[in-house]
Structure 1
Amino acid sequence: MKFLNIVLCLMFILFAGLQYNDPDPYVWMPIYLYAALFCWLAAKRKFYRKWYVAGMLIYLAYATYKFFDQNGVEDWFTKHHAENLAETMKATKPWIEETREFFGLFICIAALGMNYIYSKVKKA
C-alpha cells in the first residue's frame, strides 16, 4: 500500500503541474493536490477518513456536473460515439476536455476510496 500511495501521490502532483496552462488551473491544481496530500499521508500510515469522505463527495458532485453538463461526458458518449480522447493532447473539442476532467475526478475518487477502505480494514 505504501508504494502504491507514493506512486499515486507523485502522479497527482504531476497532474497538478500539468494544469498550469489549463483555462482553470485554480480549480484543478487544488483538486489534484488534495488527493496527492492524502495519498502521501496514507503512505506514512496516517489516515483521515472524514477528509477522504469529504473529498470523495465533492469530487463526486463535480463529476456528476461534468457528466451531465452540455458538452460533457454524456454528450461525448452519446452524440460523439465515444470519440478517441487521447488522439492528441490538445483538447480541440469541448467534450474532450470535459470528459478528461471527469475521468481525472474518477481517479481521485478511486484513490481516496481505496485509502478509506484500507484504513477501515487496518483498524479492524
Structure 2
Amino acid sequence: MLLSIINIVFFLAFVLFAYFNFNDSDAWLWVSIYMAAAICCALAVFSVFLPRIYMALGAFYLAHAFVLFFAKDGVRDWVVKYRSPSITESMKATKPYIEKTREFFGLLIITAALLINYLSSK
C-alpha cells in the first residue's frame, strides 16, 4: 500500500515536471526523461515491475547527471565558483548553472524512484 502511494506521488510529480519542460529548447529530452519515469511509476502502482528497464534508465540518468555535474556552469561550478546561491530564483541567460543544477537534482530524484521500484521488485 505504501509503495503504491509513493508511486502515485512520483507519477504525478514526474508528469508535472514533464509539463513544465514543454517550453524548453530541449523539451524532447526532458519530457521523455520525466514521462519514462512516470510510466514506470504508474505501472508499479499496478504491480507491474520492470527491473531491467529501471536499471537501463537509471544508468542513463546517472550518466547524464554526471555530465551535468562536471559541465561548464554545472553543479560543480554552482558549488565552487558561484558558492551555491539559491536555485529557486528565476533562470536567466547569465545564470545557466541554475538550470543545470535543477536538472541534476531532478535526475537524482528520478533515479531514487526507480531504485525504490527496483528493490521492491526483488
Question: Shorter-chain TM-score: what band?
Answer: over 0.9
Given candidates 89, 99, 102, the residue that maps to 2:101 is 99
- 1:30 — aligned with what? 32
- Structure 1 distance, partners of 2:23, 2:52, is 32
- 1:41 — aligned with what? 43
Cα offset, 1:62, TM superposition: 0.3
Q: What's the RMSD between the two structures over aligned residues?
A: 0.7
Deviations 1:25-51 (A, max 9, x none): 011000000000000001110100000
Percent identity between matched residues is 44
- 1:71 — aligned with what? 73
Provide TM-score, normalisation by structure 1. 0.93
Deviations 1:40-70 (A, max 9, x none): 0011101000000000000011000000000
Gaps of 5+ in 2: none
Cα offset, 1:20, TM superposition: 1.2
- 1:53 — aligned with what? 55
Q: How many matched pairs?
A: 118
Provide TM-score, normalisation by structure 2. 0.94
Gaps of 5+ in 1: none
Cα offset, 1:7, TM superposition: 1.0
Cα offset, 1:22, TM superposition: 1.4
- Structure 1 distance, partners of 2:120, 2:84, is 33
- 1:18 — aligned with what? 20
Deviations 1:73-108 (A, max 9, x none): 00001011111101x2x2121100000000010011
Cα offset, 1:3, TM superposition: 1.0
- Structure 2 distance, partners of 1:68, 1:57, is 17
